[in-house]
Amino acid sequence: MPCANCQRVLGRVKWNCVEFTDENAPEQMRNKTGVYAIVIRKRGLQIDTIRERLKPLLEHCNTISPEGGRFLQRRLCPLDRIRQHPKCVILYIGRSGTSPDRTLHHRFKELSGGHPIWPALWALLYHGWKLEFCWHECPDPSTMECTLMRRFCREHNASPMKPALNTNWPPKCRRNDLPTE
């Protein structure tokens, strides 16, 4: 059963969603600003199994470049947080910018390869997880992102808990400066 807390965070906003494996970002995202969430629709292999299957890849990377292997290992660490919160369906909350090269469309494309969470997303997708990219258009993405992060903490009764793949707090709302709704 999905996490009721996550459902309450997502349920207050009208979201548009597309399966994350779709390589073509929907045109309705083009030139739009807003917030987005990566949401689990179906879990695949267990995190421990994924970690075990990735060991040979990490060992190979360490052989070629110890620095590269450590970099990849750090990028896969968020997988462990998924194991710590097995019912949560929100993996990541983010925002677009307001400039033409930082739209929701751009963020969708960036998450397909250039974003820091890409290795963890790839590991999940490769091992049978079904994920969705959900977005909500709004004029002030920074404020809305903070509002969603605050709701996430409040609904999970675990401040300063973040969604599993969020490694940093948004600049506008560091842990001690979360906005009120």
Question: For the whole model, what pTM was predicted?
Answer: 0.85
Give the domain extent around 14. Answer: 4-177
Tens-place pLDDT, residues 148-180? 988 888 888 765 677 888 877 777 776 554 444
Alpha carbon distance 43, 24 (integer Å): 23
Alpha carbon distance 142, 98 (integer Å): 10
Tens-place pLDDT, residues 92-140? 999 988 787 788 888 888 887 778 888 888 899 999 999 999 999 999 9
C-beta of residue 79 within 8 angstroms of C-beta of residue 50: yes
Of all residues in the chain, what percent carry a pLDDT higher than 90? 23
C-beta of residue 133 within 8 angstroms of C-beta of residue 36: yes
How many residues does the structure list for the chain? 181
49: pLDDT confidence band, cut at 50, 70 and 90? very high
Q: Are strands 16-19 and 130-137 parallel, antiparallel or unpaired?
A: antiparallel
Q: Reply yes or no on whether the pLDDT at 2 is more than 70.
A: no
Tens-place pLDDT, residues 53-99? 888 887 887 777 777 777 777 777 888 888 878 888 999 999 988 78
Number of structural domains (the chain) is: 1
